[in-house]
Amino acid sequence: MLTSLTAVSGDFQREVEARSGQNLDGCLGCGTCTGSCPNISFYDYSPRELIALIRRGEKKRVLESRSIWYCLGCYTCEERCPGGIGLSRVMDACRELCLKEKYAVNGERVLLFHRLFLAQLARYGRAPEALLALQFNFRTKDYFRDLGLGRKMFLKGKIKLFPERISGQKEIRSFFREAGPRGVLPE
């Protein structure tokens, strides 16, 4: 029984390691990542706890956690981790596994934002803030959110109403075509 449990927990850890390119056995459990994380108030499990859960094979708890969706990918924890672990890549791997294996997404709004952002990137080569905010607010039925802030930013010339096209757009489109519906993209 012990052997089979070890095999199952090891399987999930190896799966995450293979996708992220990180060696989670290097985690010292020091909690520096948790102490450094600017988005920790949105997490249900701290980064240190997530690594421990992955190592224990708690696949469902990890893949259905809020934390994997609320990581900003800011790399602060990675800069400070004494074990050299790239946590944002671990979070990405967990998001991919969550979608691929159809676990419940505990961050629907974050996922929607990712998808809208990437769709604009594929289309225009950049994600124009005004259009992104409009689309996001429309899809979440929160129509007037950001209206006051958006108006101020527009009047100060900080945002544009219409997206600008960039040079090299053809290359970006072909990059998205080649990458295909992977990671956060599949519907």
Q: Is 31 in the site for ligand SF4 (CB under 6 A)?
A: yes
The string of DSSP codes covering 36-105 is H-TTGGG-SS-HHHHHHHHHTT-HHHHHT-SHHHH-----HHHHH-TT---HHHHHHHHHHHHHHTTPPP
CB nearer to ligand SF4: give 55 or 123.
55
Which one of residues 5, 18, 30, 161 is an interface residue with ligand SF4 (CB under 6 A)? Answer: 30
Residues 57-76, one symbol each (x = binds ligand SF4 by CB under 6 A, - = not), give --------------xxxxxx
Which one of residues 16, 54, 62, 87 is an interface residue with ligand SF4 (CB under 6 A)? Answer: 87
Whole-number minimum distance, CB 128 to ligand SF4, in Å?
Answer: 24
Whole-number minimum distance, CB 117 to ligand SF4, in Å?
Answer: 17
Q: Is 29 in the site for ligand SF4 (CB under 6 A)?
A: yes
The string of DSSP codes covering 107-146 is -HHHHHHHHHHHHHHHHHSS--HHHHHHHHHHHTT-TTTT
Whole-number minimum distance, CB 106 to ligand SF4, in Å?
Answer: 16
CB nearer to ligand SF4: give 10 or 82.
82
Q: Is 168 in the site for ligand SF4 (CB under 6 A)?
A: no
Amino acid, res. 101? E
Q: Is 21 in the site for ligand SF4 (CB under 6 A)?
A: no
Cα dihedral value 88, 42, 65, 101, nearest 10: -60
Q: Is 37 in the site for ligand SF4 (CB under 6 A)?
A: yes
Nearest 5°: the CA angle 154, 70, 73 is 80
CB 92 within 8 A of CB 40: no
Which one of residues 19, 48, 59, 95 is an interface residue with ligand SF4 (CB under 6 A)? Answer: 48
Tally of CB atoms within 10 A around 148? 9
Which tokens belong to 175?
């990059």
Q: Residue numbers of the site for ligand SF4 (CB under 6 A)?
A: 27-33, 36-37, 39, 47-48, 51, 71-77, 81-83, 85, 87-88
